[in-house]
Amino acid sequence: MSRAHETRFSRRAVLRAGLAGAGAVSLSAFLSACGIEGSIAQQAATKVDWSKYWAGQKKTGTLDFANWPLYIDQTHGKSKSLALFEKATGIKVDYQAVIQDNATFYATVSPLLRAHGSTGYDIVVMTNGWELTEMIQNGFVAELDHSRLPNFAKYAAANVTSPNYDPGNKHSVVWQTGFTGIAYNTKLIDREITSFEDLADPAFAGHVGMMSDNTELGSAALLATGVKPADSSPADWRKAAAWLKKQRPNVSGYYDQSYIDKLENGDTWISQAWSGDVFQAQQSGFPHIKFVTPKEGQMIWHDNMMIPRQAAHPVDALEWMNFYYTPKIAGLVEDWVNYVCPVPTAQAYIAGALDDATVAKSPLIFPSAEVEAASNEFYVYENYDEYEEWNTVFNPIIQS
């Protein structure tokens, strides 16, 4: 049974929650104060023979797993998927929901990683973005031994295989995925919404919601101007910012998670939206909130399992990753979490063994090939200066 009856919670809601009010300019100062800012070259990774590393590692019977709140099948503190893992492998899991946002968590663990110390975790879950890119480029996470991940090779969805931020899944495998597109209230808009241009339609002036997350905002504007974000240039970013400035009179606000409440109560009629939020809204009494993949395309984001470089139990971490990538275990997690499932064959398990047709049949959880083809990856910053340039281009829109 789906957890739709539970208090609705979006993992994406806290992606930058700890710093959302201050915006990315303050985020930059925050990272600098924590000693994170510097160039990749200054924190160059020590070369490691990963074949030799993995040959010397053994299963210990312990797994320390750091994740986000409410992001696994868990009722009254107990998870069936973790219990099945412990029974099947003999590995005891210490599961800790300690990650509230990427930047703050990275600020906590990066000094330890730079000093070649242990974070205390064998798996951490991070969203693709600047922090994850810096972790990989600094050598802060292990290269995975894919010979121990046969289930990933067998069952992983095409949309989680070899993402642009980690080609070949060299350092990460996806935990959950989501889409960013458009949602609208069909009680207030009586026509079909199909395009980002609808967000600029004067007919909706004062009733349009946009995101305060500048990565999402800028990426939507790039799509609106016909540019794939992953292939964009700073010149493209400025053209996208010009589109947003032109659209500004339509916008009632640049929202964090509260955008979904605005859609539900009618304050906004149409908005940028995350697929998981819309699915949960539909199951919570708002079936008239509709999610749309714009004709220009939508964004796809991933939360990723990674093994910190000095993890004490890396083989046990790989055993969980491999165990998770099966229809049953991915299905148990998916039926509770309700994002886009990284294991497509979990759909049959959810429909059959779990008898949850609502989740199994939802295109927001098991998307069609057409929707996947219309999904775009985010830009991967080459260095911190590029990341700052993006902030400089798009923050003024949000702060206007």
The confidence score (pLDDT) of residue 237 equals: 98
Distance CA 166, CA 174 (A): 11
The confidence score (pLDDT) of residue 41 equals: 40
The confidence score (pLDDT) of residue 79 equals: 97
The confidence score (pLDDT) of residue 39 equals: 38
Question: Residue 19 pLDDT more than 90?
Answer: no
The confidence score (pLDDT) of residue 76 equals: 85
Task: Name 75's bridge partners.
Answer: 78
51: exposed, middle or buried (C-beta count within 10 Å: 0-12, 13-18, 19+)? exposed
* 208-211 vs 62-67, strand pairing mode: unpaired
Domain ranges of the chain: 3-177+302-356, 178-300+391-399
Over residues 105-136, the pLDDT tens digits come to 999 999 999 999 999 999 999 999 999 999 99
Q: What superfamily in CATH does domain 178-300+391-399 come from?
A: Periplasmic binding protein-like II (3.40.190.10)
- In the chain, the percentage of residues whose pLDDT exceeds 70 is 88
318 and 339 Cβ atoms separated by less than 8 Å: no
Span 3-177+302-356: which CATH code?
A: 3.40.190.10
Mean pLDDT over 196-225 rounds to 97
Over residues 231-269, the pLDDT tens digits come to 999 999 999 999 999 999 999 999 988 899 999 999 999
The confidence score (pLDDT) of residue 71 equals: 94
The confidence score (pLDDT) of residue 111 equals: 94
Q: Determine the longest span between alpha carbons in the chain, in angstroms.
A: 65
Residue 17 DSSP SS3 = helix
The confidence score (pLDDT) of residue 14 equals: 45
Angle at 48 between CA 46 and CA 54, to 5 degrees: 145
* 62-67 vs 92-97, strand pairing mode: parallel
**DSSP assignments along 208-269, one per residue:** EEEES-HHHHHHHHHHHTT--GGG--HHHHHHHHHHHHHHGGGEEEEESTTHHHHHHHTS-S
Considering the entire predicted model, what is its pTM? 0.87
Over residues 143-190, the pLDDT tens digits come to 999 999 999 999 999 999 999 999 999 999 999 999 999 999 999 999
Let me know if the fold of 3-177+302-356 is the same as that of 178-300+391-399. yes
Over residues 281-310, the pLDDT tens digits come to 999 999 999 999 999 999 999 999 999 999
340 and 275 Cβ atoms separated by less than 8 Å: yes
179 φ/ψ sector (left φ>0, alpha ψ -120 to 50, else beta):
beta
